[in-house]
Amino acid sequence: MERRVALGVLLTAALSGCGIVEEGQVSGSVRGERSGRGGEPGEVEPGEVEPGVLKGRVVDAQGRPIEGAEIVADNQLLYNSNAVARTGGDGLYRVGTDVRATFHASATVVRRYNGQDYTLSLAPDDDAPFAGPSGAIRNFTWRLTGEKPDDLGFYGSKVLFRLDLTDQINTGAFLDDEKVRLTLTPEGPLIDGSEGTRIVRQATRNGDGSGLEDIPIGRYRIAADYEGRPLRVKLLDGGDYAEEVVAEFAPLMTGIYRIELELGLPQG
């Protein structure tokens, strides 16, 4: 017990002495270097690796810097001992990690879209853990779609549905979720302000149900068909069936967003 207390005191002292920001606090951005490496001449870059420092740059898909993104350096040795920083207007950040522990860096950005706040994971250029005293550079990009590292899902969200199995034309038929095709037409810009494109895709089954995965967050007009037969569509547990419905992604929990639908063949 005494050794555990002593270790906690030493680590607390080391954390405060090395400038690590406790969870919830904000760190200023790092002064970058102007270099042509990795971009246009004069572009701000995070510079070289510094011992005991995690730093880098956060940009959107067009390469524009993102201000206010939160970067977490997760101390892999001690539970809930994270170092936290936020990017400045140049998209740069830095945070001290000069502790004898291994760290893993992750980042999120919060964006308000049609009255709803969305917390979105950012894509690292390097997801490998690093030794705190050695320091590291980890740059992040805001991607609307694509696979996350380590098979942790996608940067896009899911559109899921429940299918009414009733078929008045063929009462003995068994309707298969994977024979459903969904058509999503953007209603206005996506969450990052980009235009978006029409999505027509066959449904698949995943760990959360049946539907589509890796859809950019936006507002969509959604229609569906079953082997070419139009399906009725409505929001899950709400509204009336129609030929199509306009829907937005709703939070299931922080960082996880869904559109959930009910589908069925026309009756009569």
- Ordered per-residue pLDDT tens for the chain, 268 residues: 333 333 333 333 334 333 343 333 334 444 444 333 333 434 557 889 999 999 999 999 999 999 999 999 999 988 878 899 999 999 999 999 999 999 999 999 999 999 999 999 999 999 999 999 999 999 999 999 999 998 889 999 999 999 987 776 666 677 899 999 999 999 999 999 999 999 999 999 999 999 999 999 999 999 999 999 999 999 997 889 999 999 999 999 999 999 999 999 987 5
**pLDDT for res 25:** 34
**pLDDT for res 150:** 86
> Cα separation of 44 and 61, whole Å?
16
**pLDDT for res 30:** 42
Domains in the chain (CATH in brackets) are 18-143 (2.60.40.10), 157-264 (no CATH)
**pLDDT for res 12:** 37
Please write down the HEC assignment for all residues of the chain.
Answer: CHHHHHHHHHHHHHHHHCCCCCCCCCCCCCCCEECCCCCCCCCEECCCCCCCEEEEEEECCCCCECCCCEEEEEECCCCCCEEEEECCCCCEEEEECCCCCEEEEEEEEEEEECCEEEEEECEECCCCCEEHHHCEECCEECCCCCECHHHCCECCEEEEEEECCCCCCCCCCCCCHHHEEEEEEECCCCCCCCCCCCEEEECEEECCEEEEEEECCCEEEEEEEECCEECEEEECCCCCCECCEEEECEEEECCEEEEEEEEECCCC
Q: What is the pTM of this model?
A: 0.81
